[in-house]
Structure formats: C-alpha cells, structure tokens
Amino acid sequence: MSETRPDPKHGLALGGTVAGEPLLTLEDVHVSYGNIRAVRGISMEVRQGEIVTLIGANGAGKTTTLRAISRLIPIAQGRMSYRGRDLTRYPAHQVVGLGICHVPEGRGVFANLTVRENLMLATYSRRGKGDINQDLERVYSTFPRLAERRNQYAGTLSGGEQQMLAVGRALMTGGDLMLLDEPSMGLAPILVEEIFRILVEINRQGTTLLLVEQNARMALQIAHRAYVLETGAIRVSGPARELLDDPRVREAYLGA
Amino acid sequence: MEFWLQQTLNALQLGSIYALIALGYTMVYGILRLINFAHGDIFMVGAFVGLAGALWLGLPMVPTLLFTMACTALLGVTIERLAYKPLRNAPRVSAVITALGIGIFLEHFVLGTVGAEPRAFPALIAGGRFDLPGGLTVNSVQILIIGVSVVLMLGLDWFIRGTLTGMAMRAISWDRSVVPLMGINVDRIISLTFAIGSALAAAGGVLFGQAYPIIDPYMGILIGWKAFIAAVVGGIGNIRGAMLGGYILGMTEIYVAAVLPSTYRDFVAFTLLLLLLVFRPTGILGRVQAQKV
C-alpha cells in the first residue's frame, strides 16, 4: 500500500530550490474573456526537472493560465517564453512541437477512437524525435490497463482509465514539459493516489510537470514549488513543503 | 427473380452515385456540424469540369476522372476558405445560409458561362454488354460506375480508419477544441475534408455523365437533396452510413419504379425513407452523440 502512495519526501530531492535551466517563463501575463479579466499579471517560472503546482479555488484562473501557455487562448499582454522562444509567436498546434504537452481539464480523450488511436494521434506532428514504438511500449508499461484495453474505444474506459490515457497521450507527443489540468477531478481517492504516484514516476524519468490542482494537499505533497492563485493573480509562492505549513495556505486550501 | 436481380444492378449503379455525393455531406457535417447545401452543386460543377476535360482537352476516362477530381477539390477548398472559414465561430445558421448562397452562385455561374441548354456528355468507354450467369446482363457503364465507386469508397474507408490524418478527422468530429493539443492544424484537416468530399462528388459527376449523358446547371439540386437524404438515412456524420444510405436510396427508387408508374417513384421512395427516420431518427448507423457544451 505504501508503494502506491506518493512519496511525501519527494519534494526534498530538489530541496525546493533551483533545479535545472528555466524551461517556461511567464512575465506579467494578462488574459481576458471579453470584459472579464481572468488572469491579471501572472509571473512564474518552471525549471527543467521540476514539479511545479498551481493551486487555487475554482475560477482563480488556473485553467486559463494553462490554456494561454498552450496558445489555445490569446493573451492580452505580457510575455511567455519556452526555452527562450517567444510562445506568442506560435499557433496552438505548433506548441506541441516545441515540447509542451497539455493534459486538458476533463481529460479530452477522443471517445470515438480506440486507446491505441488516441495515443498514436498524439504523434501527428512528431518527426524523427525518438522512437514512437518505444514510447508506445513505455506508455503501456507505465499504464498496464491501457495496454489491456488498447483496441477498445476510449469512450468505454472508466474515468481513471481515461485520465491515464490523457496522460499517456501527452507522453506520446514526446514533450519535455507536461501541463496537467486537474488530473484528480472526479476520481476516487485511491485512483487519485495512483495517478499522482505515476506523475512522480514520470517526473523522475525526466518530464517536467506544471500541475494545476484543486486538491492542494496532494499537489503540494508531490511538488517542488508552488504558486497560489487567487482571482487571477499570484498571492503566495515558494517551496511546496513550506506552503504546506504556511498558515494562509493551510487555512484557505488545506482546510486546517 | 431474374427481373429483380437485373433491377438490383441498376440500383447499384444509381446508388453508387448517391453514395459518392452523400459522403461529402456526411464528412463535412461530421467535422463542422455544417450541412453544406452547396454540395449538390459541387457535383454539378464536377460534371461540367469532366465535360470540359473530355471535350476540350480530349482526355480519356481515367485522366478525365483524375483531372475533374483535382479541379473540383480545389474548388471545394476555395469555397471553404473564402466562405465558411470566416464563419467558423458565427451562429450555425449563418454558415447554412452561406452554403445555400454558394449553391445558387455555382448554378448561375455555370448558367452564365456555359449556358442553360443541356449538354451531352461524351461516352468515354466503349459500350458493351456482358452476360452473367442466370440470364443477367451487365453493361460496361455499370461495371465502370460500380467499380470506380467501390474502389474510391474502399480507399476512403481505409484512409479514415487507417491513417493518422483519418484519425484526426474522427477526433475533430468528437471534440475539435482538444485537437490542436495533439499538434494538429485543425484548419488544414478541415480543408482536406472539403477537398476529399468535393473530389468524390466530382467523380460522381463524371460517372453520372456516363450513365445519364445529359447535364445541365440545375442537375445538382434534386440529386444533391437526394444524396443529402441518403446521408441522413445512413446516419449523418457516419462514413459507412453515407455509403449504405446511398445504396438504400438507389434501391428504393429503382424497385419502386419497377412496380409502380415512374411518376410515383420519388413520392413513394421518400415516404419510405421519411418513415424510416420516424422510427430511427439518427439514421441506420448514426449514434446519439452526447451534446457538448
């Protein structure tokens, strides 16, 4: 049982300090939907090898931030760069090629495609970046249940399996930075633990994670650093372990 | 029995043409939820492009077919880029009205440039009748139409099921918003869908010209409506459904005309098809898809 639980000390591995090179940098990013200012001047950074979590209440702007990074929605002002490249110069379908993969809110698997087709579709714009079959085998060994169900339509999978498929699909893009939007949403606690254990494993194998979560306790337990978002702006940030003990965070997001 | 088998051959010939046109309706509906009412007129333009290829350029059968499919594919993509793409996020009724307008434009463009009088489409293959077992005879045009249609449809079916681009089309039909995250340019896939749908309708136009060798600028209206109904009967959005619907419509029309005066043909055929939709509103192979917000 203890094996399936995310390692609470994982955050110590990097000591909550500077990891590798900066991968993703956001500077004073604003996003508006019509007259609604959903994100109001966010600055943040994700470094190579980290798990960074973005926590906050419903409507705080977490999903909007991820969608802006993936270029699914335009930003009103500010700068976003990935490995030094200006992200705003790329349309959404080219962001994947830069190395950013996105597990969207609600999983977004294609129910009318089989598990294998969902995974293969994510390699659409991959050219010569590693061995696709090897990655497929890696996804199947990370998620044995997907291997068992490879020829089933994704619509026949359970919620937990669909979340695994969404993560597996992101891995198949060959990206280095994975954006995850509420992977725990709607899942039983035991499945949430399993997903988080796998996320830690994926991170150990070299993928950097930017994790958006309402389940703040779980997210802070596996993350190295965290940003707390409130009504479109960052209120608190720091090493995840310190935020777990921060009275402001405990009161507002950890229910203690 | 022999009589009915002979009628079945005729039905397969007519149904093939309906099926080729129905595929364009169903593919575009599948990815854009747009009923492309200009599609019947694309079929008509295809027939005229084929006429130009055969008559002016003197092309033989297969080059005429390929030339027509390529030109009409280009027309379909141009229409999509100029007329439908700017309306991608507009209310759906705007796109439907635009499609109706494009259809009228195409009819009258051909009317103005080619003229209103019906044109004879030259025969591009040698005539001939072949005896089949059981006293049936099949002519070379029937072999051509059924053969070309089946090859095109098998090719399409393989493309949709077996290639990444075909998977992308199916993915877009489920949830377009997530598709860019797979590194897929949605606009390019939509254009390709219009290209394929238009090329298939164009092939239908050339084949139609071989079977019913009189073409005119308004020929796409009734045939287009019928092919649309075939797509709905098969289950709109479903590729195999469009093929099936085309053949069902062909059979219904031919069998009705075989036993009743031919003036009853469309009346009885469409009564039957509408009844089918009363009992199976999503069409034969259609599924009720969860509405996405």
Alpha carbon distance, N-terminus to C-terminus of chain A:
26
Q: Are strands A208-213 and A177-181 parallel, antiparallel or unpaired?
A: parallel
Minimal CA–CA distance to B72: which of B236, B224, B199, B217?
B199
Q: Is A58 exposed, middle or buried (0-12, 13-18, 19+ CB in 10 A)?
A: exposed
Residues listed for chain B: 293
Name the residue type at position A215: N
Give the one of B167, B170, B183 whose C-beta lies nearest to A173's C-beta: B183
Q: Is A75 helix (H, G, I), strand (E, B) or coil?
A: coil
Question: Which residue, chain included where needed, has tokens 């077992």?
Answer: B133
Q: Which pLDDT belongs to residue B291?
A: 43
d(CA B225, CA B100): 12
pLDDT per residue as tens, chain A (256 positions): 333 434 444 444 444 444 688 999 999 999 998 888 999 999 999 999 999 999 998 889 999 999 999 999 999 999 999 999 999 999 999 999 999 999 999 999 999 999 999 999 999 988 776 789 999 999 999 999 999 999 999 999 999 999 999 999 999 999 999 999 999 999 999 999 999 999 999 999 999 999 999 999 999 999 999 999 999 999 999 999 999 999 888 888 877 5
A43 to chain B, minimum CA–CA distance in Å?
A: 23
CB contact under 8 A, B177 and A108: yes
d(CA B230, CA B242): 6
Give the one of A72, A91, A96 whose C-beta lies nearest to B182's C-beta: A96
Question: Which residue, chain included where needed, has tokens 């280095």?
Answer: A176
Q: Is A190 helix (H, G, I), strand (E, B) or coil?
A: helix
Minimal CA–CA distance to A118: which of A99, A98, A103?
A103
Taking residue B58's Cβ as centre, other Cβ atoms within 10 Å add up to 10
Give, as one character, the DSSP assignment of residue B80: I
Domain boundaries along the sequence of chain B: 2-251
pLDDT per residue as tens, chain B (293 positions): 789 999 999 999 999 999 999 999 999 999 999 999 999 999 999 999 999 999 999 999 999 999 999 999 999 999 999 999 999 989 989 999 999 999 999 999 999 999 999 999 999 999 899 998 888 899 999 999 999 999 999 999 999 999 999 999 999 999 999 999 999 999 999 999 999 999 999 999 999 999 999 999 999 999 999 999 999 999 999 999 999 999 999 999 999 999 999 899 999 888 988 898 899 989 999 876 544 33
Q: Are strands A100-103 and A22-33 parallel, antiparallel or unpaired?
A: unpaired
Give contacts of B184 with chain A, Cβ < 8 Å.
Answer: 93, 121, 124-125
Which of A:81-110 have CB within 8 Å of B? 91-97, 101-102, 104, 108, 110
d(CA A223, CA A200): 9
Distances in Å between the Cα of B7 and the Cα atoms of A8, B127, B250, B257, B269 are: 75, 19, 10, 10, 15
Distances in Å between the Cα of A158 and the Cα atoms of A145, A152, A195, A233 are: 11, 12, 14, 35
Minimal CA–CA distance to B161: which of A151, A173, A109?
A151
Q: Is A208 helix (H, G, I), strand (E, B) or coil?
A: strand
Query: How many helices (H) and strands (E) would you count in chain B?
Result: 10, 4
Maximal CA-CA distance, chain A: 50
Give the one of A94, A113, A125 whose C-beta lies nearest to B167's C-beta: A113
**With contact defined as beta carbons under 8 Å apart, do A176 and A208 qualify?**
yes
Minimal CA–CA distance to B244: which of B258, B226, B231, B263?
B231
d(CA A67, CA A42): 14
Domain B2-251 has CATH 1.10.3470: yes
Q: Are strands A233-239 and B119-120 parallel, antiparallel or unpaired?
A: unpaired
Residue of B nearest to A122 (CA): B182
Q: Is A103 helix (H, G, I), strand (E, B) or coil?
A: strand
Q: Which pLDDT belongs to residue A13?
A: 46
Taking residue A186's Cβ as centre, other Cβ atoms within 10 Å add up to 13
**With contact defined as beta carbons under 8 Å apart, do B187 and B85 qualify?**
yes
Phi, psi of A30 (to 5 degrees): -120, 140
**With contact defined as beta carbons under 8 Å apart, do B202 and B46 qualify?**
yes
pLDDT in tens, B202-220: 999 999 999 999 999 999 9
A117 to chain B, minimum CA–CA distance in Å?
A: 7
Cα-based angle B287, B292, B169 (whole degrees, multiple of 5): 65
Q: Is B170 on the interface with A (CB under 8 A)?
A: yes
Give contacts of B178 with chain A, Cβ < 8 Å.
Answer: 104, 108, 110
| Chain B interface mutation, best of A112, A116, A179, highest count of B Cβ atoms under 10 Å | A112
Question: Which residue, chain included where needed, has tokens 């705080």?
Answer: A60
**With contact defined as beta carbons under 8 Å apart, do A51 and A200 qualify?**
yes
CB contact under 8 A, A121 and B171: yes
**With contact defined as beta carbons under 8 Å apart, do B76 and B103 qualify?**
no
Strand partners, B120: B214
Q: Which pLDDT belongs to residue B288?
A: 62
Taking residue A175's Cβ as centre, other Cβ atoms within 10 Å add up to 23
Minimal CA–CA distance to A51: which of A95, A7, A97, A3?
A7
Distances in Å between the Cα of A138 and the Cα atoms of A151, A164, B232 are: 17, 13, 42
